[in-house]
Structure 1
Amino acid sequence: MTVIVKSKTNLVIPPSVQRRAGIKTGDCLEFKVSGGIISIVPKVPSAGDEYTPEQRRIIDARLDRAAEEVKKGHVSPAFETAAQFAAALKADARKLRSKSRRASSG
């Protein structure tokens, strides 16, 4: 596709070219120029770019808390099958019911 560049016109990537290149609304693009050739490549955001500093602090605090819980051994066991998982849930529910009965009767 060929277009004529005019003095007061922004360059526009035609929709058909955007579709073929997989460019979507909201994508971040990086323009590189080398030897008179302009290359447009998607810029993948780094983890630091995805969140505001406040959001990053909240996420980091939650990750730190989760790591502490794992260190203390507060994790669920691994299950080989869904049946094992269901049986463990039922056993935990029985324990909770018996605790609540003892607490309400005592």
Structure 2
Amino acid sequence: MVNHIAITKARINLGLIVKRAHLNGEYFILEKYGIPIAGIMNGNEMEDYLGINKKRVKQKYKKLSSRDKAY
């Protein structure tokens, strides 16, 4: 299911949105003034979507993943 949500509302409810994306496989399109600016989806599905086997994408993902694990 694709949900469109204002980015200000998403900021307030980020934990719930991430949980729904992770557990239920929902998609969220974040909008500012009705214009789509970003999306949230399940991390495993995003890996598949990005074609994680591509070297450049894999390197960027690895870098982001290691940075996030530090927090």
Give the TM-score taking structure 1 as reference length: 0.21
Kindly indicate whether structure 1 or structure 2 has the higher relative contact order, using CA contacts under 8 Å at least 6 residues apart: 2
Greater helix share, structure number = 2
Greater strand share, structure number = 2
Structure of higher CA gyration radius: 1
